[in-house]
């Protein structure tokens, strides 16, 4: 396929109706020279090897951005088969198709591949150790990508929110409209990531025609708790809601969550120079 030509770059985006997929649709308007194919799960079932192989052989994509994922963290505990089917086996099929057709894969992963026991931000060199089914399924997907492909970018991110889909910001705004008081855990630390910022970083990777393949961490700047995040949401919205900090054990969930989800982002900043926005600035923009 030779040199990747700006004019004719063809990019397929799976999971097009999810948060990141929708934000990529917004960002795509700024790249008129590229040809984007947005595929929702109804239009492309990534768990079907036949569908993937047929589409990739016919269309010849330069890049595949895999935004499709099984993200119901608690449900995954009792629905392991589907979590692994979407987050691992389907990623294997995509990787194999990318290898055959010389397509560069950009695969989105998660902070949940770590157990959260570290007291400093996680680097790309830290050894994953997931503590729930969702994290284990995402790690298996990463391993397939790394074992099958040479031309790939895996971007791990954390606490993703946007104007679209289901996320913490929208849940808080809904609950805030119904209640005067909420309790939110204050001992899980991480960085919220605005999907619009992540979409821009992905397009920066593509437009720079980089060949620095491998694993990267990306989130917005700063580290806060879910309690801090909730308070900031209501503050920006001007909603007078009483938010009470509680420990994780006071709010048990089927899936265990990492206590520390902070990601070290030096590598992506160095290779794709772009000012990483502070979480509060991006939250203002989204709300």
Q: Among candidates 172, 183, 199, which has minimal Cα distance to 246? A: 183
134 belongs to the catalytic site: yes
Domain count for the chain, please give it: 1
Region of 60 please: left (phi>0), alpha (psi -120 to 50) or beta.
left
**Looking at the domain assignment, is residue 66 inside a domain?**
yes
Q: What is the pLDDT of residues 144-192, one digit of tens each?
A: 999 999 999 999 999 999 999 999 999 999 999 999 999 999 999 999 9
Quick: pLDDT tens for 211-239.
Answer: 999 999 999 999 999 999 999 999 999 99
Give a yes or no: residue 281 inside a domain. Answer: yes
Answer yes or no: is pLDDT of 125 > 50: yes
pLDDT band at 6 (very low <50, low <70, confident <90, very high): very low
Question: Is 227 a domain residue?
Answer: no
Q: Tell me the residue range of the domain where 47 lies.
A: 10-167+192-221+262-286
CA 191 distance to own-chain centroid = 13
**Set 70, 93, 134, 218: catalytic member:** 134
Residue 36 lies in a domain: yes
Query: Looking at the domain assignment, is residue 233 inside a domain?
Result: no
* Residue 130, Cβ density class (10 Å: 0-12 exposed, 13-18 middle, ≥19 buried): buried
| Model confidence, pTM | 0.95
User: Is 242 part of a structural domain of the chain?
Assistant: no
What pLDDT score was predicted for residue 7?
52
> Residue 255: inside a domain, yes or no?
no
Averaged pLDDT of the chain: 95
Structural domain includes residue 267: yes
Closest CA to 227 of 251, 246, 255, 254: 246
Residue 279 belongs to domain with CATH number: 3.40.50.720
């Amino acid at each position: 396929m030779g040199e990747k030509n700006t004019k004719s770059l063809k990019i397929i985006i799976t999971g097009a109706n999810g948060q990141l997929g929708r934000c990529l649709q917004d960002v795509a308007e700024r790249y008129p020279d590229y040809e984007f194919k947005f595929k929702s799960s109804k239009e492309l079932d990534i768990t079907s090897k036949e569908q993937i192989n047929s589409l990739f052989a016919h269309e010849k994509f330069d890049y595949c951005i895999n935004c499709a994922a099984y993200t119901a963290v608690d449900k995954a505990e009792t629905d392991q088969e589907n979590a692994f089917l979407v987050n691992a086996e389907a990623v294997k099929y995509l990787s194999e198709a990318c290898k055959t057709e010389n397509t560069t894969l950009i695969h989105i992963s998660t902070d949940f591949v770590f157990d959260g026991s570290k007291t400093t931000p996680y680097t790309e060199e830290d050894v994953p150790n997931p503590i729930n089914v969702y994290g284990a399924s995402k790690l298996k997907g990463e391993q397939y990508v790394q074992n099958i492909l040479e031309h790939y970018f895996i971007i791990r991110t954390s606490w993703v929110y946007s104007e679209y889909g289901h996320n913490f910001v929208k849940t808080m705004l809904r609950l805030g409209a119904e209640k005067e008081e909420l309790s939110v855990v204050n001992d899980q630390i991480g960085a919220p990531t605005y999907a619009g910022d992540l979409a821009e970083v992905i397009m920066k990777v593509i437009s720079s025609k980089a060949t620095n393949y491998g694993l990267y961490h990306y989130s917005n700047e700063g580290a806060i708790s879910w309690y801090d995040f909730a308070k900031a949401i209501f503050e920006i919205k001007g909603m007078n809601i009483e938010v009470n900090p509680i420990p994780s054990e006071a709010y048990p969930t089927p899936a265990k969550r990492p206590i520390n989800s902070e990601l070290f982002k030096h590598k992506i900043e160095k290779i794709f120079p772009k000012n990483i926005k502070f979480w509060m600035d991006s939250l203002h923009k989204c709300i």
